[in-house]
């Protein structure tokens, strides 16, 4: 390979590779600034974080409006500015926390460098490597600096993270070895030729850890909405300002009389309502909270947007060693096939060899006391060949140790062959098997150079090794299967061994698939992966190909692992997950690191991601609905030259209590549904029609009452309509209601009632008595809007269900596909409960508005009664929605409700002795509803209470 860099002039002196630099030379070069010390930025700088969170287009717009209102002395209407300030502060703080975590990760996980100095090998921090140092390279090492190979014994280096080349490269004397690359086979020595900032090491090793905005459909969709609003906000702002000035008597008159101040305030109210600042804030908070929760479970999220990737995973690929098993190999036993002199000494040499891998090192204890032998020629083990060989000085013959199938081919899998019989029997029990073979001829230098398997190899002994299965593996895999996440076990071991381990942890894997027979065609490979769960004898390149094949079939793939041979696949996967005990290279390319290495954290990882994204989709409908109706209101009132019906402070009421505050709680709720692409399409399918309904309702209301009431009464009525319809939209999107969501929705409704009832709040927000006639108009338009919102939600749920089903995917929570056709009696009961709930809501709204006509001392009582009746209607509609989905909990609630109402009617009949037809009709109606819910075929439609909702 051609050198990518010139040899520095400082290396004109020759360093003896067997001795290395002296202590004096190291000290001199360190003092001359030729050390590898380099402080890499593992995340964005403090300045870039602040710029990204503070100096944005929309923050500029919001802060400009904020400043204008302060200059005009209308600080009461500038409350929206605090949301932008909070957004900037929280976003910056969370990114600073992420930066600190990533910096700590880089410091704690810095790979050691092995150098030879004064003839002695030692491990030092990468920053202490100096120019001219002799690096001692072994499998699993990551080069800390650019170097030139001086000696090699089967040295293979993976430079894929630097060059994109998937195959490991055989290195020979004089070849360049780039920093950041990984030794995957053999051993050797290399001299450092470039260090510090001039080196590739920090650039590439830390680039994988760098805080970056990874691909995120949520973020991209939100940015798209912000872009749309950004293009519209200028012309819409001019349109609204002109309308407000015209409504104030014209530009000249408004300027002369000072009414231009109110026109500017109205314009700012319309513009700030268009910007979904809360959605940006909520997304940042939810990502950060998800990452913080995972950090508390010893799971480090290298990049906050990676939380979204967790939610989309539908196939997880597991490496057996270190994931399903604890990764520690212990020696089992040996079965001698042919008594060959020297086999015990050979195993002792393998156990003591400097380049011995974890499996070979376990031979040191049982065979370490055997007489030492001196190797003459060796072929180092590589994960691609899966065997190594050695010839000893003063003895004829070559010993080969490795995977039986890779050395003896079909004989190792033939039950009729003595070797195959033993290998099959050992592998089927879940033990790892290696074979020690012997060839009469010794290795020649050319054979060792070419890594040729010697001829005439015969099996001498079969060795077995044990891996301890993780105690949490079975329950973890059971969780994935319950959640609909496909599992593929991919390992370099014997397929039968891997299958045995898989069966032990609960997977239905009769026999593993031998990866040596995998098809080369990508489409055929994808078919094999769809049909099989367990794969053995998989090479590192095949792992990568398998991940890509699954991705080609539309799967979102997570890959776990801890070894160097997993790095390519982890990097290629949509979500790479590494164990903290794994190699530095593997952790460098992973998005998620399990700090304590516990496999049982993976369900937490997946569940957290699903909760974050599914809840963001739910709350996004709230924010986008507001953006739609605010934009449409601005356009309509601008075209119709109407005075904007809200003060900014009044919009703060509805924004905070029907969108912002409840969205915060809803975004942090448990939610185990898998995220499906199409977030913006699904959200807009509700937000656009719902926003249109809200905007048209407020426009028609304004056209109806203007001229008959003063401006404060008109604004109060508009605020009431927006508050009631907003809380109804919140309740519709929060369904199915449970205790938590019911408490959130109820608390927001009560808070609205308090604001409209407490004199101090009414004075601050300029809320007045709208008048009796206006109250009836408010109630009429409010109930019409509520009915239309219910229709839109029902249609949207079915639209999303059909489109997801047509795409072959499962729908999200909140968009379920009906599991069974609703029986006619149940459908009738649902309609009746819906109508009853809407009637209660209308009656509660009218009762609530009557508090403006009562004495001051009765306002609280009337408000409580009206809000209670309206909440009861809201809960009834939610229960009807649950009935439509077959919720057993909703059936119990409706039954209890109907029984109470029947008891009240019977009690009234007994007490008054007035057998009115209305009371009897209600008793009959409630009886019919209960019968429809509890008699066949209704009983077969509903789920048990414990699984409802």
DSSP 198: G
Euclidean distance between CA atoms 512 and 533, whole angstroms: 8
What is the b/e burial string over 689-703, where b = at least 16 CB atoms within 10 angstroms of the residue's CB? bbbbbbbbbbbebbe
501 CB-side CA count, 13 A: 32
Task: Tell me, yes or no, if 170 is annotated catalytic.
Answer: no
User: Measured between alpha carbons, how far is 844 from 727 in angstroms, rounded to an integer?
Assistant: 14
d(CA 122, CA 136): 9
DSSP string, 305-328: THHHHHHH--EEEEEIIIIIEEEE
Residue 150's SS3 state is: strand
Q: Between the CA of residue 610 and those of 166, 592, 606, 617, what are the distances in Å?
A: 32, 15, 6, 11
State the Cα torsion 868-870-875-881 to the nearest 10°.
170
- Whole-angstrom Cα distance, residue 936 to residue 949? 21
Give the pair of three-digit tokens for residue 881: 């929605």
Sort strands 398-402 and 432-439 into parallel, antiparallel or unpaired.
antiparallel
Residues 6+ apart with CB under 8 A from 874: 727, 728, 731, 745, 749, 837, 841
Q: Strand 513-514 and strand 486-490: pairing?
A: unpaired
Nearest to 326 by CA among 457, 465, 439: 465
Phi and psi torsions of 3, nearest 5°: -70, 130
Which of the residues 319, 562, 566, 574 is marked catalytic?
319
User: Residue 405 corresponds to which tokens in the numbers above?
Assistant: 């199938």
Half-sphere exposure of 658 (CA within 13 A, CB side): 29
The Cα 686–Cα 622 span in angstroms is: 9
Does 24 sit behind a cis peptide bond, omega within 30 degrees of 0 on the bond before it?
A: no
Active site residues: 319
């Amino acid at each position: 390979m051609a050198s990518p860099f010139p040899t520095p002039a400082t290396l004109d002196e020759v360093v003896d590779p067997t001795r290395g630099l002296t202590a004096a030379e190291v000290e001199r070069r360190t003092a001359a600034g030729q050390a590898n010390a380099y402080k890499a930025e593992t995340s964005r700088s403090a300045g870039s974080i602040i710029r990204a969170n503070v100096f944005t287009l929309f923050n500029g717009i919001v802060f400009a409006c904020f400043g204008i209102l302060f200059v005009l002395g209308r600080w009461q209407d500038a409350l929206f500015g605090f949301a932008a300030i909070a957004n900037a502060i929280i976003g910056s703080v969370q990114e600073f926390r992420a930066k600190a975590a990533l910096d700590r990760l880089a410091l704690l996980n810095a790979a050691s460098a092995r150098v030879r100095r004064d003839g002695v090998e030692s491990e030092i921090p990468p920053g202490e490597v100096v120019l001219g140092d002799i690096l001692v390279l072994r499998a699993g090492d990551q080069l800390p600096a650019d170097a030139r190979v001086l000696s090699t014994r089967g040295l293979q280096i993976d430079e894929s993270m630097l060059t994109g080349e998937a195959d490991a490269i055989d290195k020979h004397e004089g070849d360049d070895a780039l920093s950041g690359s990984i030794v995957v086979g053999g051993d050797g020595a290399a001299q450092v030729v470039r260090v510090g900032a001039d080196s590739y090491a920090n650039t590439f090793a830390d680039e994988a850890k760098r805080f970056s905005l990874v691909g995120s459909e949520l973020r991209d969709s939100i940015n798209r909405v912000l872009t749309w609003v950004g293009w519209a906000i200028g012309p819409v702002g001019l349109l609204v300002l002109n309308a407000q000035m015209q409504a104030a008597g014209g530009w000249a008159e408004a300027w002369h009389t000072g009414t231009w101040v109110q026109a500017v305030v109205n314009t700012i109210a319309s513009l700030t309502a268009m910007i979904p600042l809360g959605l940006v804030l909520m997304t940042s908070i939810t990502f950060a909270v998800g990452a913080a929760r995972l950090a508390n479970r010893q799971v480090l999220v290298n990049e906050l947007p990676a939380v979204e990737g967790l939610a989309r995973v539908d196939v997880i690929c597991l490496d057996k060693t270190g994931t399903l098993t604890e990764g520690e190999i212990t020696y089992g036993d040996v079965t001698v096939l042919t008594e060959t002199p020297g086999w015990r000494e050979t195993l002792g040499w393998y156990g003591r060899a400097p380049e011995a891998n974890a499996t070979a090192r376990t031979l040191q204890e049982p065979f370490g006391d055997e007489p030492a032998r001196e190797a003459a020629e060796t072929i180092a083990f590589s994960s691609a060949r899966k065997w190594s060989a050695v010839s000893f000085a003063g003895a004829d013959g070559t010993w080969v140790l490795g995977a039986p199938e890779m050395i003896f081919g079909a004989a190792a899998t033939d039950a009729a062959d003595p070797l195959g019989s033993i290998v099959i029997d050992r592998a089927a029990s879940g033990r790892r098997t290696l074979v020690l073979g012997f060839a009469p001829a010794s290795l020649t230098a050319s054979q060792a150079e070419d890594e040729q398997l010697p001829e005439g190899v015969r099996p001498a002994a079969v060795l077995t090794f044990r891996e301890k299965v993780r105690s949490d593996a079975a329950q973890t895999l059971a969780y994935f299967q319950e959640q609909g996440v496909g599992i593929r076990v991919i390992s370099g071991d014997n397929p039968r061994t891997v299958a045995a381990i898989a069966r032990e942890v609960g997977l239905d894997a009769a026999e593993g698939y031998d990866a040596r027979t995998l098809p080369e065609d990508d489409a055929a490979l994808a078919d094999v992966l769809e049909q099989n769960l367990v794969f053995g004898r998989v090479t590192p390149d095949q792992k990568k190909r398998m991940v890509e094949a699954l991705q080609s079939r539309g799967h979102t793939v997570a890959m776990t692992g801890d070894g160097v041979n997993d790095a390519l696949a982890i990097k290629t996967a949509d979500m790479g997950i590494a164990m903290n005990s794994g190699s530095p290279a593997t952790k460098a390319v992973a998005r998620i690191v399990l700090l304590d290495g516990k496999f049982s954290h993976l369900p937490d990882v997946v569940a957290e991601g699903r909760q974050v994204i599914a809840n963001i989709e739910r709350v996004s409908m709230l924010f986008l609905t507001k953006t739609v109706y605010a934009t449409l209101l601005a356009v309509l009132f601008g075209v119709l030259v109407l005075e904007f019906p809200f003060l900014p402070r009044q919009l703060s009421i509805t924004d905070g209590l029907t969108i912002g505050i409840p969205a915060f709680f809803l975004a942090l709720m448990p939610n185990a549904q898998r995220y499906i692409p199409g977030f913006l399409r699904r959200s807009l399918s509700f937000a656009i029609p719902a926003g249109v309904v809200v905007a048209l309702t407020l426009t028609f209301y304004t056209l109806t009452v203007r001229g008959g009431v003063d401006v404060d009464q008109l604004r109060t009525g508009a605020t009431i309509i927006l508050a009631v319809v907003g809380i109804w939209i919140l309740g519709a999107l929060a369904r199915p209601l449970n205790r938590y969501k019911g408490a959130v929705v109820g608390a927001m409704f009560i808070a609205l009632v308090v604001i409209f009832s407490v004199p101090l709040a009414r004075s601050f927000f300029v809320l007045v008595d709208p008048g009796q006639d206006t109250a009836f108009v408010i109630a009429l338009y409010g109930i019409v809007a509520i009915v239309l919102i219910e229709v839109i939600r029902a249609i949207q749920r079915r639209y999303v269900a059909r489109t997801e089903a047509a795409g072959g995917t499962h729908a999200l929570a909140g968009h379920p596909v009906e599991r069974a056709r609703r029986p006619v009696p149940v459908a009738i009961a649902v309609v009746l409960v819906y109508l009853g709930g809407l009637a209660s809501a209308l009656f509660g709204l009218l009762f609530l508005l009557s508090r403006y006509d009562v004495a001051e001392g009765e306002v609280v009582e009337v408000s409580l009664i009206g809000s209670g009746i309206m909440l009861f209607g809201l809960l009834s509609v939610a229960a009807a929605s649950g009935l439509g989905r077959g919720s057993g909990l909703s059936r119990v609630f409706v039954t209890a409700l109907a029984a109470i109402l029947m008891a009240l009617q019977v009690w009234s009949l007994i007490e008054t002795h007035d057998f009115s037809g209305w009371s009897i009709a209600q008793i009959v109606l409630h009886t019919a509803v209960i019968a429809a819910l509890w008699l066949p075929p209704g009983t077969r439609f509903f789920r048990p209470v414990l699984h409802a909702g």
